[in-house]
Amino acid sequence: MSKFLRWTGITLIISMLPTLAFANPQTPVSDAENLTSIISRYSDGIKRADAFSATYYNVEEDLDKFGDYLSPEYFDRYKKLYKAALSDLKKINTRALAAKDLRTYKLFKEDMEISLRYFDYPSEYLDFNQMGNRIRYYIDDSSPSLTYFPFDSVKHYEAFIKRSEGFPIYIDRQIDLLKKGIKKKIILNCVVADKAIKSIQEGLEPEVEKNPFWRPTTVMPKEFAAADQERIKAGFKMMISDRILPSLRKFDTYFRKEYMPHCRQGYGLSDLKNGKDWYAFQILANTNLKLSAQDVHNTGLKEVERIAAEMEAIRKEIKFEGDFKAFLHSLTHDEKYYYKSASEMFQAFDKVKKEIAKKIPNYFSLTPKTDYQLAEAGNPEEASASYKVPTEMTPLGRFIINTKNLKAVPNYEVTTLSLHEAVPGHHFQLALQYEMKDQLSEYQRKIFNSTSFVEGWALYAEYLGREMGAFKDTMQRLGNLNAEMLRAVRLVVDSGIHGFGWSREKVIQYMSQHLASDMKDIETEADRYSVLPGQALAYKIGQLKIIQLRKLAEKELGTKFDIKEFHKGVIGYGTVSLSILEQQIAEWIESVRSQKPKR
């Protein structure tokens, strides 16, 4: 059930839906209009299914609610939404739909079927982990630079205080769920469990004005009346001392004393009941393709071999004395490749941002107006970099960098990370989608997600960087190859963990043999794959599909191929599944081919 338990960040999509019209009561409603109504009803339900996500979905009236996350009613609410949508779709005559509406029908139906299948697997018992959990999200919500919460009015500050009333209830539910997981023997790996509880430790700061939940009071708008400011501060003190701290202490004590002694040595899904079937589903859910663990593993091995050859060529080019293993070791241990401070790192990213911006007009005709800003991660166990999409309440993209571990971002990977997380990667695609309010439905802009499309596009953006001339020197080229190698290695180790029972030690050993990465970063990545089965596959699988479609278009169109129009054809209609993308590009190719030459 981790589809809706784990992630409320990147979820969006294509608009091929017709505008919903106010039909004359005597005029028969078309199947296309019925489809629009079905998706609209579903979207309304999703927006209000979890009050904690009100900031993301712009549901003002739910800002003061924590939600009933993990309650039986919570799970039942989602299940009913999926079943109702699938039942309604049976009433649609697909033969009466135009091509673009038929694609939307197929996309939505596939999404509902996969969403319902999440209930076949008990992932909720493993969803409190170091990569994401409701407590960590709540802590980050108090960070002005990371939150979606609008700290812009007295009313909103009061809503944030009131929201905390639901926190103690949630903590009790989370503890009860973990107890059930122990009984069912669905428990976190010991290393992962230790990291999970460490990810929330800052919330236990006993001094109220040093606790992270105090942060919003330090950025109150100056126009607030003095009396309101004092009342808000008093409310935050009460919230932290009476609700948040006692609840977090209760959870921390339970987790360390009662849960940790039961943690397991197994590292992935393969040693759990129905683990292989579970993983097969995770592959489908994350790639939208029917691939086996062996298929994924073999593709990974081939890509690792190809990229290693390119990295070896660079070793020879720079005349490094020593073998490939020694070459990788030098890249991870020489201090000249690392920044000494977060501010120095941020300056480097700012410089790259300006350099890439100059190249964009040659490759894109469709670009977002929304800008992005750099922000520091709150969770030390997060990936080296990530991205948060704009919303109505926080209309700015955020490129988040994990400065807790400066060695996670060597200087030779700054360009590649910028291409992936910002421009023309995630920020380009997702901010553009956010802006398409007149073209895309709420479902398409915020709810649907295809990890293989979103991450595949971002990895394609890295690939495009070579063509754009973004890598100015040999070391930047090497950083690009090392980042691509990481995505290829993921195919091998993710399938190894969950499909073939690889241990943590074997995963780390394999990764260290092929990556120029700090050991702490490798361990963080490995533990990430263990708790997010299938998610890491989406990057390479999606990139390979987009490259394949581009080569097909270049071959079919010849001199008519326009790189700007191809990119518009990929990201100009929102997020889609890879199968729908294939149809989309095939139709685009045909439309270009049929165009008469201009006189």
| Residue range 201-210: mean pLDDT, rounded | 98
Tokens of 586: 């095939």
Give the ranges where 518-562 is alpha helix by DSSP (H): 519-531, 538-557
Least confident of 11-15, 211-215, 257-261: 11-15
What amino acid is encoded at 423 in this protein?
A: V
The 3-state secondary structure of 574-585, one letter per residue: CCCCHHHHHHHH
Average pLDDT, the chain: 93
How confident is the model at residue 2, as a pLDDT? 53
For residue 19, how many other CB atoms are within 10 A of its CB?
Answer: 10
Whether pLDDT at 519 is above 60: yes
d(CA 432, CA 373): 16
Cβ-proximal residues to 388 (8 Å cutoff; 6+ apart), any chain: 9, 146, 148, 375, 397, 398, 400
Question: Is the peptide bond preceding residue 424 cis, with omega within 30 degrees of 0?
Answer: yes
d(CA 501, CA 522): 19
> Tell me: the pLDDT tens digits for 318-357?
999 899 889 988 988 889 999 999 999 999 999 999 999 9
pTM of the predicted model as reported, rounded to 2 decimal places? 0.90
| Residue range 287-307: mean pLDDT, rounded | 96
| Residue range 195-201: mean pLDDT, rounded | 96
Distances (CA, A) of 350 to 54, 354, 355, 424, 428: 32, 7, 9, 15, 16
pLDDT confidence band for 599 (50 / 70 / 90): low
How confident is the model at residue 402, as a pLDDT? 86
Whether pLDDT at 149 is above 90: yes
How confident is the model at residue 14, as a pLDDT? 28
> Tell me: the pLDDT tens digits for 5-50?
433 333 332 233 333 333 445 567 899 999 999 999 999 999 999 9
CA gyration radius for the chain? 24
The more confidently predicted of residues 147 and 598 is 147
d(CA 314, CA 45): 53
The residue whose two tokens read 């960087």 is 465
The more confidently predicted of residues 240 and 15 is 240
How confident is the model at residue 597, as a pLDDT? 66
CB 81 within 8 A of CB 88: no
Cβ-proximal residues to 405 (8 Å cutoff; 6+ apart), any chain: 380, 384, 518, 520, 521, 524
Whether pLDDT at 254 is above 80: yes
The 3-state secondary structure of 464-494, one letter per residue: HHHHHCCCCCHHHHHHHHHHHHHHHHHHHHH
How confident is the model at residue 378, as a pLDDT? 78
Q: 158 — phi, psi (to 5°)?
A: -65, -35
> Tell me: the pLDDT tens digits for 77-117?
999 999 999 999 999 999 999 988 999 999 999 999 999 99
> Tell me: the pLDDT tens digits for 113-122?
999 999 999 9
d(CA 13, CA 532): 22
* pLDDT more than 70, % of the chain: 95
How confident is the model at residue 192, as a pLDDT? 97
How confident is the model at residue 404, as a pLDDT? 83
How confident is the model at residue 9, as a pLDDT? 36
pLDDT confidence band for 1 (50 / 70 / 90): low
| Residue range 136-146: mean pLDDT, rounded | 94
Cβ-proximal residues to 69 (8 Å cutoff; 6+ apart), any chain: 50, 52, 134, 170, 173
| Residue range 410-421: mean pLDDT, rounded | 95
For residue 392, how many other CB atoms are within 10 A of its CB?
Answer: 15
For residue 457, how many other CB atoms are within 10 A of its CB?
Answer: 27
How confident is the model at residue 325, as a pLDDT? 86
Q: How far apart are the first and last CA of the chain?
A: 57
| Residue range 402-426: mean pLDDT, rounded | 92
| Residue range 433-450: mean pLDDT, rounded | 92
